[in-house]
Amino acid sequence: MSSNPVFSGGTDSQVTSQVDGPDNLHPIEANADAILFLNSLQQEELQLFLFSETLVMVSDSGEPQGELTIQVQKGSRVDEFGIFTHCLFVHAFSRGFINKTVCGNSLQGYLSWNMEILEQQSQEFIKLQSIPMEQKLNLVTKDDRLIITRRVKEGEDVKTERITKSCSSIAGFISEAANLVLLRVMAWRQMVPSNARFLALDTEGKLCHSTYQCLGSQTVEINHQQVEVFVVEQNIHSQVGIPSSCQFYLLSDGHLAKRIQVGSPACCMIFKMPNVREKDEIESPPVFGKKDLVWEEDAELYSKFIDRKEELRLSHSRYLGQHPEAKAIISDFLLFLLLSQPEDVVTFASEHFSPYSPFEMPLTSWTSKHRLSLFCLPVSSWKEA
């Protein structure tokens, strides 16, 4: 998409160009609450709102007059230097009748993941029988400046106006494309930054304040189904044009159920309930209190114990079968122990097994019943003994 579109048709009767505009004497700025809200946006959250929706335009009597389609998806934009930027792409268009007058508009916008405008083109027209009216608005960010080009055509009369703003002076600016995404965020969070004052463009293409207000929750009927919606009102506080208000009735996942332009004879609403995304409930990790382990009552642990016990029994039996001398030595010791029944069993055992030691001379078990055993002495005294 070209950063500097060329508008065809008609002859410009008036062309004006301003740098930072006449409001530079009294600059209009977004407040801290608006900046804080925009800074809270995360790419992971915004990716929840990549879907399209279609609403039907109906008159006061309920007759269909047209339709409105809004689509938000991932996109990529190529600047004049051929550099690709991954971003959000917003496309919205409508066509219908108001009081039997053909009207319509279209919008294409590229947004960064923190809602800064990269480029946007919008067009709206009203086909009056006397004088057809058409307005084209182009926004493009270039060299840290926002260039706003507005072209209005009434019959054969064409007027073009261009305003350049530094990006630093329009922090908190919400374009039409960004507004459609932010409404989905507010519905998902069930929260409106009511004290925030953003920047926006009014119907004359002039910079002004934009605010949001929560009107609470309401129950509406969609395709014979009662659904709760979150109502948000946006107000454009124009200083030179006509202030405007628009009410948005939003489902919990950001789908637009109804849109009312205050003062308009028509509204937009859905007639088919979409698949509403539910919020993922993050359960807190379970807390387990300290509990004494009674392994005998645990079938799995008890089964493992029996298996291990049998494994050891077989291993021991196998070893004793391979070393029959071990059984003979133990039997002899028990035999002599029960015959002698000494008061000092440890000393008796040391004397009994001393013949098997390779470091001492063979002794009989009756050599000395009062000989001091090495097991009864400190380790440091073994050599002396």
Residue 133 pLDDT exceeds 80: yes
Supply the pLDDT for residue 358. Answer: 64
Residue 277 pLDDT exceeds 80: yes
Question: Which of these, 227, 217, 161, lies nearest to 21 by C-alpha position?
Answer: 161
Task: Sort 270 into a burial class: Cβ within 10 Å, 0-12 / 13-18 / 19+.
Answer: buried
Beta partners for residue 148, in sequence order: 139, 163
Least confident range from 63-67, 252-256, 368-372: namely 368-372
221, 237 Cβ separation under 8 angstroms: no
How far apart are alpha carbons 354 and 348 in whole angstroms?
A: 10
How far apart are alpha carbons 226 and 151 in whole angstroms?
A: 44
Cα 293 to the center of its chain, rounded Å: 41
Which residue stretches of 13-158 are H helix? 32-39, 43-46
Chain segment 218-261, per-residue pLDDT in tens: 998 888 889 999 999 999 999 887 889 999 999 999 999 999 99
Beta partners for residue 233, in sequence order: 213, 247
Question: Where exactly are the structural domains of the chain?
Answer: 11-269, 298-381
How far apart are alpha carbons 284 and 365 in whole angstroms?
A: 71
Which pair of structure tokens corresponds to residue 156?
A: 């054969």
At 13, the pLDDT band (50, 70, 90 cuts) reads low
Beta partners for residue 153, in sequence order: 134, 158
- DSSP state for residue 15 in the 8-state scheme: E
346, 330 Cβ separation under 8 angstroms: no
Most confident of 51-60, 270-279, 366-375: 51-60
How far apart are alpha carbons 328 and 319 in whole angstroms?
A: 14
| pTM, two decimal places | 0.67
Pairing outcome for strands 11-19 and 52-59: unpaired
At position 322, the amino acid (one-letter code) is Q
